[in-house]
């Protein structure tokens, strides 16, 4: 399977197989015809009502209308920015101030700030779908035009918008369709929120290959009883999630091949795949292929993959992160020098899936994006090495970016917002690890003057103040109050010492 253009591939499925299922909820099924017809109606509306090509914000959870809005934005020659409904107001304001959108499609219930941005809500959206059928021709765009923008944690407290172009996405999609033994018409689990680029791993391989998305919504995922009931009945072939999520699912004993005989693939990305998880899956799903994939949002979801076997688990102390995709080069670097196989250094990725940079943020772009042999390259901040056979091994981070329950965050961003709290004089956040996985975030806080009688009251107040800007998963579980923070020789807060204290050995 090879795709020449994402939108046209989806249009072709709608033209040739209009009744094919594209989105299967438990109560309702949608077809390719419905997707493309609605997207055309909405794209037409954008063309009639918008005066600029600025990106379109799409606000909501896993819903069919989200796909329609993404496709409509692309068809009208505009990029889209997915935002989850649980995003705090101040964070949304920060994103809007960076992105300067002209339009927001609010599929979720918009409780956000009053902003001077045109808005289409769910009711209007349905009126647009049902309006007179519009003749539509996709607006032509160049390969370098931005397809989507995903905002990710930024060290200074302002999220960074990673711009992914049509050619970036095409490079990723063609790799997934060729290197994972995926077939046309498969059913993919859709669980990752659209604001996390892992969702792209099910969304576009499915839509360009005549496949179907089967959503597991947040409401189900957050209710274990319901989740465990649904899991053994999911009509899917391809599982896409973080290892953290599948670990939860493995608590359900009926999550196995005998209940899910159609399951042929597991694709993992976004964080380290623990050996125990991989081993449990090989035992529960002996007929399925299990892939570990690796990559940052800045290089379009993933750039390497390896099929996990018992042999691989026996041969390596940590699960390898894969062989590099054909059109891409990984260089292991230290101080600007290229290292050899077997040497540990920073993983630097160059190739056609590397982003052009962060939206309206030349400073951060210049810091992370470089060129190697004339090719755009991204410095991942990941530490790793290549084996002689070209297998990439992961050894952790060079900076203070972490993954917690699969979510990417910069510890500095949490520090920044903690320090903005009126109850905090100084603060630094430290991850507590268990078997290479972050288990807890601990904030060391020098409190500002306050009149709380009890510590828990202070903690409640601090958490409430940072919760106005930080996503819920970024809020430290534990606050430790100290009179002062340790400092390095040159007077900076010494996070490393605290990390060693929290994680002895």
- Considering the complex, state which of residue 229 and residue 387 has its C-beta at the smaller distance from ligand AMP: 387
- Considering the complex, state which of residue 74 and residue 380 has its C-beta at the smaller distance from ligand AMP: 380
CA-only gyration radius of the chain, Å: 23
C-alpha–C-alpha distance, residues 201 and 267, integer Å: 8
Residue 406: both structure tokens together: 């699969």
> Minimum CB separation from ligand AMP for residue 76, in Å?
27
261 is in an annotated binding site: no
446 is in an annotated binding site: no
292 is in an annotated binding site: yes
- Considering the complex, state which of residue 40 and residue 195 has its C-beta at the smaller distance from ligand AMP: 195
C-alpha–C-alpha distance, residues 139 and 245, integer Å: 38
- Considering the complex, state which of residue 77 and residue 274 has its C-beta at the smaller distance from ligand AMP: 274
Cα distance between the two ends of the chain: 49
- Considering the complex, state which of residue 107 and residue 306 has its C-beta at the smaller distance from ligand AMP: 306
Q: What angle do CA 59, 60, 61 make, to 5 degrees?
A: 150
C-alpha–C-alpha distance, residues 397 and 496, integer Å: 13
Judged by DSSP in three states, 136 sits in coil
300 is in an annotated binding site: no
- How many of the other CB atoms lie within 10 Å of CB of 8? 12
> Minimum CB separation from ligand AMP for residue 499, in Å?
16
24 is in an annotated binding site: no
296 is in an annotated binding site: yes
> Minimum CB separation from ligand AMP for residue 271, in Å?
5
Q: What angle do CA 53, 74, 23 make, to 5 degrees?
A: 145
User: What burial class does residue 422 get, using C-beta atoms within 10 Å of its C-beta: 0-12 exposed, 13-18 middle, 19+ buried?
Assistant: exposed
> Minimum CB separation from ligand AMP for residue 333, in Å?
15
Residues near ligand AMP (CB under 6 A) are 152, 197, 269-273, 292, 294, 296-297, 321, 380, 382, 394, 397, 403, 408
Judged by DSSP in three states, 295 sits in coil
- Considering the complex, state which of residue 382 and residue 410 has its C-beta at the smaller distance from ligand AMP: 382
494 is in an annotated binding site: no
Judged by DSSP in three states, 83 sits in strand
289 is in an annotated binding site: no
Dmax of the chain from CA atoms? 70
C-alpha–C-alpha distance, residues 430 and 418, integer Å: 13
152 is in an annotated binding site: yes
356 is in an annotated binding site: no
- Considering the complex, state which of residue 45 and residue 404 has its C-beta at the smaller distance from ligand AMP: 404
> Minimum CB separation from ligand AMP for residue 389, in Å?
18
> Minimum CB separation from ligand AMP for residue 488, in Å?
24
* Residue located via tokens 């490079």: 171
> Minimum CB separation from ligand AMP for residue 358, in Å?
12
- Considering the complex, state which of residue 394 and residue 400 has its C-beta at the smaller distance from ligand AMP: 394
> Minimum CB separation from ligand AMP for residue 249, in Å?
18
C-alpha–C-alpha distance, residues 180 and 341, integer Å: 25
153 is in an annotated binding site: yes
C-alpha–C-alpha distance, residues 254 and 263, integer Å: 13
C-alpha–C-alpha distance, residues 321 and 262, integer Å: 26
Burial per residue of 272-300, b for 16 or more beta-carbon CB atoms within 10 angstroms, e otherwise? bbbbebbebbbebbeebbbbbbbbbbbbb
- Considering the complex, state which of residue 255 and residue 378 has its C-beta at the smaller distance from ligand AMP: 378
Residue 143: both structure tokens together: 């390969």
- Closest residue by Cα to residue 166 from 356, 36, 325: 356
30 is in an annotated binding site: no
- Considering the complex, state which of residue 65 and residue 197 has its C-beta at the smaller distance from ligand AMP: 197
CA 26 to chain centre: 25
> Minimum CB separation from ligand AMP for residue 406, in Å?
8
Partnered with residue 372 across adjacent β-strands are 375
> Minimum CB separation from ligand AMP for residue 292, in Å?
5
Q: Are 239 and 262 in contact (CB under 8 A)?
A: no
Q: List the binding residues.
A: 152-153, 197, 292-297, 301, 382, 394-397, 492
Q: List the binding residues for ATP.
A: 152-153, 292-297, 382, 394-397, 492
């Amino acid at each position: 399977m090879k795709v020449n253009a994402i939108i046209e591939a989806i249009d072709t499925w709608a033209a040739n197989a209009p009744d094919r299922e594209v989105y299967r909820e438990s109560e309702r099924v949608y077809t390719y015809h419905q997707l493309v017809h609605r997207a055309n109606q909405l794209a037409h509306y954008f063309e009639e009502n918008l005066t600029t090509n600025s990106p379109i914000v799409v606000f909501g959870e896993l819903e069919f209308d989200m796909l329609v809005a993404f496709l409509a934005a692309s068809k009208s020659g505009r990029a889209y920015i997915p935002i989850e409904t649980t995003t705090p107001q101040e964070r949304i304001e920060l994103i809007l101030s960076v992105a300067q959108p002209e339009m927001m499609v609010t599929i979720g219930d918009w409780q956000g700030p009053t902003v001077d941005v045109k808005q289409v809500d769910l009711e209007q959206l349905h009126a647009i779908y049902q309006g007179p059928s519009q003749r539509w021709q996709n607006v032509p765009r160049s390969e370098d035009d931005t397809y989507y923008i995903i905002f990710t944690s930024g060290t200074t407290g302002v999220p960074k918008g990673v711009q992914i172009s049509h050619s970036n996405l095409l490079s990723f999609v063609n790799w997934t369709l060729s290197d994972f033994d995926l077939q046309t018409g498969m059913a993919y689990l859709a669980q990752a929120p659209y604001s996390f680029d892992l969702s792209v791993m099910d969304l576009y391989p499915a839509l360009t290959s005549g496949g179907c998305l089967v959503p597991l919504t947040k409401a189900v995922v957050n209710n274990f009883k319901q989740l465990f009931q649904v899991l053994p009945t999911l009509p899917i072939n391809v599982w896409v999630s973080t290892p953290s999520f599948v670990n939860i699912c493995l608590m359900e004993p009926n999550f196995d091949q005998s209940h899910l005989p159609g399951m042929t693939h597991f694709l993992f990305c976004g964080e380290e795949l623990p050996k125990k998880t991989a081993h449990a899956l090989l035992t529960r799903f002996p007929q399925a292929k299990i892939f570990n994939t690796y990559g940052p949002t800045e290089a379009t979801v993933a750039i390497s993959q390896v099929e996990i076997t018992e042999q691989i688990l026996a041969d390596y102390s940590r699960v390898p992160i894969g062989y590099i995709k054909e059109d891409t080069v990984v260089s292991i670097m230290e101080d600007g020098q290229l290292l050899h196989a077997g040497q540990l250094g920073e993983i630097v990725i160059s190739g056609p899936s590397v982003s052009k940079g962060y939206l309206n943020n030349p400073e951060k772009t210049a810091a992370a994006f470089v060129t190697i042999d004339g090719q755009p390259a991204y410095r991942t901040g990941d530490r790793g090495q290549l084996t002689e056979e070209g297998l990439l091994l992961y050894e952790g981070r060079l900076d203070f970016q972490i993954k917690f329950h699969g979510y990417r965050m910069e510890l500095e961003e949490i520090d920044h917002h903690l320090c903005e709290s009126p109850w905090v004089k100084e603060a630094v956040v430290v991850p507590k690890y268990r078997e290479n996985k972050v288990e807890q975030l601990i904030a060391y806080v020098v409190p500002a003057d306050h009149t709380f009688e009890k510590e828990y009251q202070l903690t409640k107040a601090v958490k409430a103040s940072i919760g106005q800007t930080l996503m819920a998963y970024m809020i430290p579980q534990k606050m430790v109050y100290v009179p002062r923070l340790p400092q390095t020789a040159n007077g900076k807060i010494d996070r490393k010492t605290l990390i060693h204290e929290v994680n002895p050995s």
